[in-house]
Each structure stands twice: as C-alpha cells, then as structure tokens.
Chain A
Amino acid sequence: MRQFFSDLMHAARQWRARPGLWLAIVVTLALGIGANTAVFSVINGLLLRPLPFADADRLVMVYNTYPKNDLEFAGTSIPDYLDRREGAPSLEDLAMFNQISLNLTTGQVPEQLSAARVTPSFFSVLQVSAAYGRVLDDADAEDGAAPVAVLSHGLWQRLYGGDRSVLGRELVLSGRNYQIVGVMPEAFAFPDRQRDLFVPFVFTAAQKSDEERGNEYSMSIGRLKPGATLAGLNAEMDLLVQRVGARLPDYLPFIESSGFTGRAEHLQEFFVGDLRGLLGLLQAATLFVLLIAAANVANLLLAQGLARRREFSVRAAMGAGRAQLFRQLIAESLLASIAGAGLGLLIAQGCLALMDGQLLQRMGGSLFHTAIDAGVLGFTLLVSVLVALLISILPAIVVAGPSLVEGLKDGGHGTTSSRFTRLSRSTLVVVQLALSVALLIGAGLMLRSFDRLSGVGPGFDPAHLYSAAYALNGDQYADPAARAQFIENSLNGIRQIPGVAAAGMISGLPFSPMADSSGTFAIRGEVYDATHVPPHAFQRIIDEGFFPTSRVPLLLGRNFTVADSADASRVVIIDKLLADKHFAGQDPLGKQLSRGGGGDDAQWMTIVGVVGTVKATELGAEVRKETMYVPMRQTSFPVGSLLVRAEMPRDVLTTKIRAVLKRVDPGQPIFDVRTMQERIDASLGPQRAPMQLLLVFAGVALVLAAVGIYAVLAFLVGQRAGEIGVRMAIGAGRGDILRLVLRQSAGLVGLGLVIGVVAALLLARVLSSQLYGISAYDPLTYVAVVILLAVVAAAASLLPARRASHIDPLRALRQE
C-alpha cells in the first residue's frame, strides 16, 4: 500500500512534467465518465431508487383495463374500488383519489386551487402523516360530514405565511366552507406538486351502486401485504370481475367482449416504466462515448509509453519486475481517471440540469430526484477504475513488453515495440471511428425520428392557439343552461377583444389531462350482444366555435350552430376515424348514435358532420380510438377549456380574458393559460431531454474521433519524418508527401467507417422499437453520417499532413 502510494506520488510528478498531455487525458476521460454518470443518475433516480415512501416497493397503482377495446389504462370507478378494498386479500390497504379544481375568491383575482379528492385511506396507503394537525379520517368521508381540508405545505405558506394557528379555521372554496384540520409535510408531493390541498372523497349511496360502474374518473393506489405479489393481486381482481359478471347478467357480455378486468402495477413502473427503453439506449450511447474517450487516452498513453521506454528500461535494469512496472502505469492511469471522474461529476451535474425540468414534466414527476447520490458516486468510481485498467493495458505491453533491453539499446526506434505501438494506435483509431459511426448513426436515426414525431401535425393548427381552463363547480352552475350561458357570454366577450381571430370551447382539451374522457356508444340499428358489443370512443363537448378556432377541417356535412339547442333535435359530429371504422363505404350523415349501450332509454343523436381526426394525447402514436363531438347546448359538463386564436403575448391576452370574465362572473377564475404548441411540446418533454443529451454525446464523440485521428496521424508523421526526408531527397514533392499522409489516413478512416456502418446495421434492430416513422436502415442517415465523419476526418488529417509536407529533409535525414 505504501508502495502504491509512492507510485501515485511518482505519477503526480509525471503530470508536472507534461501538464498539457495529462490535462488532455483528464478532460477526455471527464467527458466520457461525465456522460455515463449523468445518464446513470437519471436511471438511478427514476428506475433504481425507491420512491420516497415507507416500503415503497409494496405500493401499486390499481386500474381498470379493457384490452380488447384498445384501452389499456382506464382509471377506476367507485364500485370497483369498494370491491377491491374488501375482496382482494393481497392488498393491505387501498385508496382512491382524483383531482378537482376549487375556486378561491378571497383575493383580488379569483384563484383556482388544485385539490386532490382522496379517500382517508390515501394517507395510510402512503404511510404519511400530517406535519401539523391531522390527516383525513373515515368520519370525514361519511356522506353528510362537515367539509374539512388538509393543506399542502406550499399553500399553507402562500396563504397563511406558515401560521400554525390556521388549524380549525375555515376556508371558503367554490362557495363551501372547509375547516382546515391539518398541514402536510413540505416534502410530500403526491400525486404531483401542484396539489394545493386534500379534501375527503365522499361517496353518495348512488355512487356506491352498480350504476356507477364504468365511471372511471379516479385513480387508485394500493399497498400490497408483505410477501404478496402483483400476479396474486391480478388474479384476485380477475375473480372479483367474474363475480360482478355473475351477479349482473346485463353487464357480463360487455365484460367478456372488452376483456375488462383490474390490473396492478408497481408505482415506480407505472410512472416511468415506459422510459426504460429510451434510458437504456442512452446508457448504451454514453458507453460508446466512454469507449471512444478511453481509446483516445490509450492512444495518447501509447505514444507516451514509447517515449518512456528508456525510463522503464532503466527501472527494469535497476531490478523492477514487470508487476512493479505495471503497477506504476496503473497508478498513473488511476490518478488520471479519478481526476477525470471528479471533473465528470461536474459535467454530469450540467447534463442533469438540462434534463431535470423536461424529463420530469409528467405525472409522478415530483417523486423522482435525479441527484448525484452515494449510489451514483459508487458507479462513477467503479467506472473510473475500470477505465484506468482499460487504458493501461496497451501501454503496459509496450513498456513492460517482451524485450526491455531493446529500449536501452536504441531508445525504441524501429523496434518491435514501435511497430506494436504503430499497429495498436492505428487499431485504436479504427475502433474509435467505428464506434463514432455507430453512435452517430444511432443518434441520427433517433433525431430524425424525433423530428418526424414533432413534425407530425396534431390534426389542428396549434400556432397562436391559446387555451384557458375553467371549472364551473359552484352551486349557481348546477343548471346546464347556466353553464352554457357562461360559456356563450365569455366567448362573445373574448371575440370582441381586438386581435382575437376566433374563440371556442371544448370539454376535453387535446394534450391536457382531460384529453382521455371516453365511453361506449351505440349505432342505431345495430343489435349488441355478447359477441357484438358497443364500441368505445373519446367524447367531447364543443361549441360551434371549436372547429373554426382550432382549424380542425370539416370533411363532410356541417358544423354545429346556435340552433343546435337543448330543445332542438339531438345532433353529433364524428371524426374521420369513427366514419372509417363504422361507416366504411356508407354515407355517415343522417345515421344515428347514442352514448352508452343503446338500450331502450337511449337518446339518439343524428350525425350531421364528419371532421378530421385529431391527435389528443401523443403526437408520436397513431390515433386508434375514434372521437365523437356533441354540442354544448345539448350536453353539459362543468369543466372545460376556452380556445382563443390570437397573435399576442400571453400576458396581454390573459389580462384581457380576465377582464372579460370579470364582467361575466367576477367569481369565476380561469387558469393554465398556455398555447397548444406549449402543451404539445410538454407532451414531447420526456423524449426531448434524452434527445438533446444524445445530440451532445454524438457531438462529443465526433470531437473525440477527430482528436484521435489527428493525434495518431501526427504521431505517425513524427515517426516517419526520416522516411519522408528520404523521399523528398529522391524527388518527392510536397504534394506527394501530402498525398502519402492523406492516403494513410484515408485507409484508417475508410476501415473505421466500414466497420462502423456494419456495426450500426447489426445494432439497428435494437433501435427499431424506439423509432417513429423512420426505418432503422434509413439510407439517408447512414450516408450523411459517413460523409460527415469523412469530412471531419479529412479536416483532422490535414494538419499533420501539411506538417509532413513541410518537413526539412536535411534535418530529418540528420536525425534519422
């Protein structure tokens, strides 16, 4: 150990002797190690580290699924929740929650608060308690209990400045008095950081009945008993659904045709499981970067090793064994790679800052932290030790290789070790290039795929299209006519604002959490039974302004008008997908649909128009579920969004809309004013951040490859100076020498490119699943990358080649 320490001391002295070389080595390693640390800390934060709850591995999301209806995830209904809470022995506890908006009217501008409506078991499932006061208990959720609220730490600070005497005080929200019973800890942020407060989820008798089945606007989270498994819980939920089917014969055919059942997934997997593929890919990319960096450093060390053969020969002559010489080299590499790791941690920190905001803009995001913790530090240390070993091997062979005496004799000129060095350095450069090509092709494909993804039209025109959410949940809006009146008055006022081109409303705004409200519907004339079940569609409530404002194209028939009122005959507009799926080869206009299963009490609506299909949740996925639109005067829902097309800054527009609404209803806030483009971008967030990183890594790889080519050619030119002098003495011109060096470079580069392309072709299959709208064998990407690298390689070769052509033959010959 003492010996090794003195090796380290000696290594440090090496640094002082050649600071430039060692700085280059440390920076190169820092890039490679930093990239790996950054990606690993994301993987660690999202996939490896347990969520911030006690025994978090026992927490599961529980949801309904309709696999045969293409509906994987459907939330949960109150009766399902009650069934499972009682009848699933694998569960220790189960909770249900949803998100509601409550209006706070105490301040100047009415404010919208985001509340989580939770069953009292919510807190016991998560095993959290209040920081002050208490959490909700079962009595709070009794039908008819006095309303109570538990505040988030953030709201408590914002409204009351952290005053502990608020416990017991009343808070007026959407016209009701809530008594404050508790404040949550600062760190608590579930289901997301936006929740301002927690109110009890009170079930009415009607909500507990079978009528409520299929109303899946809530989510459910459970805690497994110790030792219980997902498979066990899933089997229990299958059994529960079978029992319901046996008890309700009318419901059974739908259960069977839709494949309806309950499913559970580990909480962590539920939130970020879909990122696993992308992150794995990213880690592979950074591994490439690290290998490229290591190849570069090995290359520098090789040149260095050749120069130091004499030193090592002397050491050997003084009695140093091979093991001791090797240990000396390891000490030097280790010192470099640890220093590289230190700098790499800073680089990783920078990468994380870039990623954090975007990657975590999704549900559950607040639960994850991509910080550099002990695990990440351990990983980084491990990587740097492995790298140190990797980069020591080749120099060790050169320095401590078979014939050390050679080094003493002639200083390593024209000997086997110099031939070995030349060969290894050329091989390293070929390997490095091949890795770069493969990495760049991968990055290029991902980039083009992402480009396709972002370029795909959503089916409407998101530019200059603003949306603002509202929630009409006060008592004065219990009547649908009052809601329609509010919307009509608001829109009319907004349309008067100078600069506003159009305005409209929709209940389920695309690319927002409301986008996936869906339900079954029936087509008049069809008879549904166990083998032929009613189809399922997104259902949206709109006004006549929605299509013109969003610019969703009307393909057939007509738009809604003010005449489609509550007492007019019921009408519906369908999207092209619904028309294609259910009215292929027919004229859909005049056909009739109803919501629900189409029983005797069905309210039939006549199809009056067909519009283009709209992407509502994911830009990069094919729309698979059809959509029906119904007019707001005939169907009503308290929550929705106003859409405004206007070319003006958000703040200006927001202020003007607020002024209009103040006239319509001073107590009614709007919130979440954003352009549709922003919403779409946010939906791409989880992909965008890794994409930007991939781009950075590809750039780093390119630079390292260029540096590698440059270093090797410069080395070869130096080694061949004598030969070049001879060639000039017997008549070679500058052009001949330039060509000689470039030809040598072209050989290495060409070989690297070919191997890289072959490797990329072999790896393409792995990439396929992550690509959208582009083949993993896309020739354009391959050709572009090859050209790019060839150009970069040529540029990197030019300098050494020029230097070679300017060699003074006299001096070169004298040194030969």
Chain B
Amino acid sequence: MLISLRKLERSYPIASGRTWVLRNISLDVAAGEFVSVTGPSGSGKSSLLNVLGMMDSQWQGEYFLDGSPVHACTPAQRQRLQRASIGFIFQQYHLLADLTVAENLELPLSYRDMPAAQRRARVAEMLDRFQNVAKRDLFPSQLSGGQQQLVAVARALITQPRVILADEPTGALHSEQGQMIMQTLKQLNVEGATIIQVTHNGEYAALGSRRLELFDGWLQTG
C-alpha cells in the first residue's frame, strides 16, 4: 500500500472541550489509484488532505506512507518525506504573483537541493509537456484561471511526487476550464500518478477510480 491510515483522529480545542473533524479514519490507497473525496461542506475533506499532505501534524492514529510511519516521524523527517512524496494543488492556485511561470515551476525544486542545470531541464520539460513554453516569462496575473491552475498542476508534478493531493482544483474555475484540468489529472493518472482529489462535483468524482464519502468527520464506506 502506498498510503495506510489506521484509526486516525483529528480534533480542535474549542471553548467547551474539543470539536472532532476526523473520526476513526482507516483507509488504504494503492499506488496508481485516483481517489475522489466528497462530502458536505465542513465534513473534514480539507482536513483529511492536510493530514495526508503532512501540512498538519496534530492528529492521533497511524499513517504509513510507502511503508514509512509518519506518526513516528520527527518534524525534520516528516518534511523530508513531504518533499520527496507530496505534490499539492490548491483551489486558489496559489502561484506566487511576483514570479514568472517558469520561476513558479522552478520554486519547489529550489527547496530540494537540485543542481541549477537539472532544475532548468525539468522546468523546460514541464513547460513542454503542458504546452506552456510560450508563456514561460508571463506572470500569473497575465493568465486565465484555467491556465494558472495548469501551471499549479505542473508545479505539483515537477518534483515527481508519489502522491498528488488536489483540494477542489476546479472550485474556482468555469466548467470549461474545470473540464480541462480534470482531463489533465485523468491523463496523469493514466500515466501512473497516484491522485487524491476533493471535489463537490459528482461528474468529476466519477472520473476517479474510487470514491470516498466523508460525513461529519466519519468515513462512509460503500
């Protein structure tokens, strides 16, 4: 299994005790799967993705990533694991406004001790693959939403992560552009990428190989 969660719990302290956002989650995801997570607003979808992406470490239970026990990792080990394994795609794209398309793509690599020549080669490769070569020197504000999200997908892929986590990647896009992004993700999955996406859209959820439903922090199986 690429990902195994066992009895994972997440809660926040509130005035009158604690509020639970993830409850007793056990889950296995194999390499090459395309998982769609759905559920009502506030059901814990983003929370789950944040735990998987190791943006959050305040949870109880067990989390194995490709055999490594994340629950037993020191913060430094966890960061190393995150750098090596995770690619994030956000609803709001979160491209850095002051950097060009090419620079945005190069950014994750610059945090991974890669020689400059190799970095440039990877960026060129990515620009090529997403047919973005002509736009390499544009700034995000000069792109449409769909184009920006495409760059964000490329940025998530550029480190060759084992898992791509996408939290409502089409949430801010028109349906046409949403379609394009979903097609891209599907294509990546076909090429072998493991993808876990959060979506509200049933049609997009159906593109995945498996569907998970969260309800008030509980994982509904079936």
Q: Which of A414, A731, A732, A813 contacts B94, CB < 8 Å?
A: A813
Q: Does A809 contact B (CB under 8 A)?
A: yes
Of B107-115, B130-138, B188-196, B205-213, the one with at least 4 CB within 8 A of chain A: B107-115
B50–A730 touching, CB < 8 Å: no
Of B29-37, B82-90, B172-180, the one with at least 4 CB within 8 A of chain A: B82-90
Q: Does B27 contact A (CB under 8 A)?
A: no
Per the bound structure, the CA–CA distance linking A688 and B210 in Å amounts to: 84
B107–A414 touching, CB < 8 Å: no
- Contact partners of B92 in chain A: CB under 8 A: 816
| With known contacts A414-B97, A813-B94, A816-B92, A729–B111 Cβ distance under 8 A | no
Per the bound structure, the CA–CA distance linking A726 and B156 in Å amounts to: 12
Chain A interface, DSSP helix/strand/loop, else mixed:
helix
Q: Does A213 contact B (CB under 8 A)?
A: no
Q: Does A736 contact B (CB under 8 A)?
A: yes
| With known contacts A414-B97, A730-B88, A810–B50 Cβ distance under 8 A | yes
- Contact partners of B53 in chain A: CB under 8 A: 729
B55–A729 touching, CB < 8 Å: yes
- Contact partners of A726 in chain B: CB under 8 A: 94, 96
| With known contacts A729-B55, A731-B111, A813–B83 Cβ distance under 8 A | no
Per the bound structure, the CA–CA distance linking A804 and B108 in Å amounts to: 18
A731–B83 touching, CB < 8 Å: yes
Per the bound structure, the CA–CA distance linking A603 and B61 in Å amounts to: 113
Q: Which of B56, B97, B107 contacts A730, CB < 8 Å?
A: B107
The B14-67 residues at the A interface (CB cut-off 8 A) are 50, 53, 55-56
Q: Does A68 contact B (CB under 8 A)?
A: no
- Contact partners of A488 in chain B: CB under 8 A: none
| With known contacts A414-B97, A816-B92, A733–B79 Cβ distance under 8 A | yes
Q: Mark A786-816, 1 if CB is under 8 A from B, else 0.
A: 0000000000000000000000011001001
Nearest Cβ on chain B to A271's Cβ, whole angstroms:
62
B108–A810 touching, CB < 8 Å: no
| With known contacts A810-B50, A813-B94, A731–B112 Cβ distance under 8 A | yes
Per the bound structure, the CA–CA distance linking A726 and B111 in Å amounts to: 12
B155–A730 touching, CB < 8 Å: yes
Q: Does B199 contact A (CB under 8 A)?
A: no
Q: What class of interface size applies to chain A in its complex with B?
A: 10 to 19
- Point out which of A726, A732, A810 has the most chain B C-beta atoms below 10 A from its C-beta: A726
- Contact partners of B50 in chain A: CB under 8 A: 810
Q: Which of B56, B96, B159 contacts A731, CB < 8 Å?
A: B159
A736–B111 touching, CB < 8 Å: yes
Per the bound structure, the CA–CA distance linking A84 and B83 in Å amounts to: 96
Per the bound structure, the CA–CA distance linking A414 and B156 in Å amounts to: 24
Per the bound structure, the CA–CA distance linking A729 and B90 in Å amounts to: 10
A730–B108 touching, CB < 8 Å: yes
- Point out which of A722, A727, A731 has the most chain B C-beta atoms below 10 A from its C-beta: A731
- Point out which of B79, B155, B156 has the most chain A C-beta atoms below 10 A from its C-beta: B79
B96–A810 touching, CB < 8 Å: no
Q: Which of A722, A723, A732 contacts B111, CB < 8 Å?
A: A732
Q: Which of A722, A727, A733, A809 contacts B55, CB < 8 Å?
A: A809
| With known contacts A733-B111, A736-B111, A816–B94 Cβ distance under 8 A | yes
- Contact partners of A736 in chain B: CB under 8 A: 111
- Contact partners of B90 in chain A: CB under 8 A: 729, 813
Please give 13 more A-B residue pairs, beta carbons under 8 A apart, in addition to A729-B94, A731-B108, A809-B55: A722-B94, A723-B96, A727-B96, A727-B107, A727-B111, A729-B53, A730-B156, A731-B79, A731-B111, A731-B159, A733-B111, A810-B56, A813-B94
- Interface residues in chain A, defined as those with a beta carbon under 8 Å from any beta carbon in chain B: 414, 722-723, 726-727, 729-733, 736, 809-810, 813, 816
9 closest residue pairs by CB, A with B: A731-B111, A726-B94, A730-B108, A731-B83, A732-B111, A731-B108, A729-B88, A810-B55, A736-B111
